[in-house]
Structure 1
Amino acid sequence: MRVAICLPRKMHFGPARATAIDLCVRDTVAHSRFRDNTIVFGEPVDEPFADIDYRAMPRSAATSQRAYASALGDAMAAVSPDIIVIHQHLPSASAIRAKVRDVPVLLYRHNSLTIPKSAIKRWLKGRQLAAFDGIVLVSDFIRDQLVAAYPKLGRKAWRVHNGLDFDAWHPGEIRENTILFVGRAVAEKGGLEAARALAEVLAERPGWTARFILSRLDADAAYFHHIEDVLKPLGARATIETDRRHEDVKAAFESAALALVPSIFEEPFGRTAIEAYAGGAALITSGRGGLGEIAQGAAKIVDPQSPSALAGAIRALIDAPERRATLSRQGRERGRAEFDITGLAHKLDHLYASNI
Structure 2
Amino acid sequence: MTTPDDRPISTDTAIILPQRERYAPGEAGAIALLAARLAGRDDRILGIAPAGAPYPAGSFTPVRPAAFGLSDTARYARGCVSALGSRLPDLIEVHNRPDVALGIARALPHMPMLLVLHNDPQGMRDARTPEARIALLRRMRIAGVSDWVRARFLDGLPSSADIMAVLPNCIDCKALPNPVPMAERRREILFAGRIVADKGADAFVRACAQILPRWPGWTARMIGADRFGADTPRTAFLDALVPQARAAGIVMDGYRPHDVVLNAMAQAAVVVVPSRWPEPFGLTALESMATGAALIASSKGALSWVVQNGGLIADPDEPAVLETALEHVLSDLPLRESLSAQGQARARLFDVAEARERLSVLRADVRARPFLSPEPAGP
TM-score when normalising by structure 1: 0.91
The structure richer in helix per residue is: 1
Q: Secondary structure at the match of 1:143?
A: helix
The equivalences for 1:337-348 within 5 A come to 338-348=349-359
Q: Secondary structure at the match of 2:129?
A: helix
2:27 aligned with 1:17: yes
| Alpha-carbon shift at residue 340 of structure 1 (Å) | 1.2
| Alpha-carbon shift at residue 59 of structure 1 (Å) | 6.9
2:111 aligned with 1:103: yes
Is residue 76–residue 100 contact of structure 1 (8 Å, CA) maintained in 2? no
Is residue 44–residue 59 contact of structure 1 (8 Å, CA) maintained in 2? no
Residue 362 of structure 2: aligned partner: 351
Distance 1:219 1:162, change over 3 A: farther
2:95 aligned with 1:87: yes
Residue 157 of structure 2: aligned partner: 150
Match of 1:211 among 197, 221, 224: 221
Residue 4 of structure 2: aligned partner: none
2:323 aligned with 1:311: yes
> Which amino acid is 1:46 matched to?
A
Q: Distance in 2 between matches of 1:177 and 1:71?
A: 50
2:242 aligned with 1:228: yes
> Which amino acid is 2:203 matched to?
E
Q: Distance in 2 between matches of 1:280 and 1:152?
A: 37
| Alpha-carbon shift at residue 167 of structure 1 (Å) | 2.0
Is residue 209–residue 248 contact of structure 2 (8 Å, CA) maintained in 1? yes
| Alpha-carbon shift at residue 13 of structure 1 (Å) | 1.6
Q: Which moved more, 1:218-227 or 1:191-200?
A: 218-227
> Which amino acid is 1:88 matched to?
N
Distance 1:320 1:45, change over 3 A: same
Q: Distance in 2 between matches of 1:124 and 1:83?
A: 25
Distance 1:38 1:191, change over 3 A: same
Q: CA RMSD in A?
A: 2.1
Deviation per CA, 1:105-154: give whole Å up to 9, x if none: 111100111179xxxx8354034312333111000011012123222675
Is residue 146–residue 280 contact of structure 2 (8 Å, CA) maintained in 1? yes
2:218 aligned with 1:184: no
Q: Distance in 1 between matches of 2:27 and 2:205?
A: 23
Q: Which moved more, 1:160-169 or 1:144-153?
A: 144-153
Q: Secondary structure at the match of 2:357?
A: helix
Is residue 107–residue 132 contact of structure 1 (8 Å, CA) maintained in 2? no
> Which amino acid is 2:354 matched to?
G
Q: Secondary structure at the match of 2:299?
A: coil
| Alpha-carbon shift at residue 183 of structure 1 (Å) | 1.2
The equivalences for 1:1-356 within 5 A come to 1-29=11-39, 35-47=40-52, 48-58=54-64, 64-114=72-122, 122=129, 124-151=131-158, 154-169=161-176, 170-173=178-181, 174-217=184-227, 221-235=235-249, 238-336=250-348, 338-356=349-367
Deviation per CA, 1:256-300: give whole Å up to 9, x if none: 100001111221110000100111100001122110111212211
| Alpha-carbon shift at residue 68 of structure 1 (Å) | 1.2
Distance 1:219 1:352, change over 3 A: farther
Distance 1:124 1:189, change over 3 A: same
Q: Distance in 2 between matches of 1:99 and 1:269?
A: 31
Is residue 302–residue 309 contact of structure 1 (8 Å, CA) maintained in 2? yes
Q: Distance in 1 between matches of 2:346 and 2:123?
A: 32
Q: Which moved more, 1:319-328 or 1:143-152?
A: 143-152
- What is the identity percentage for the equivalent residue pairs of Structure 1 and Structure 2? 30
Structure 2 unmatched ranges of 5 or more:
1-10, 368-379
Q: Distance in 2 between matches of 1:77 and 1:136?
A: 26
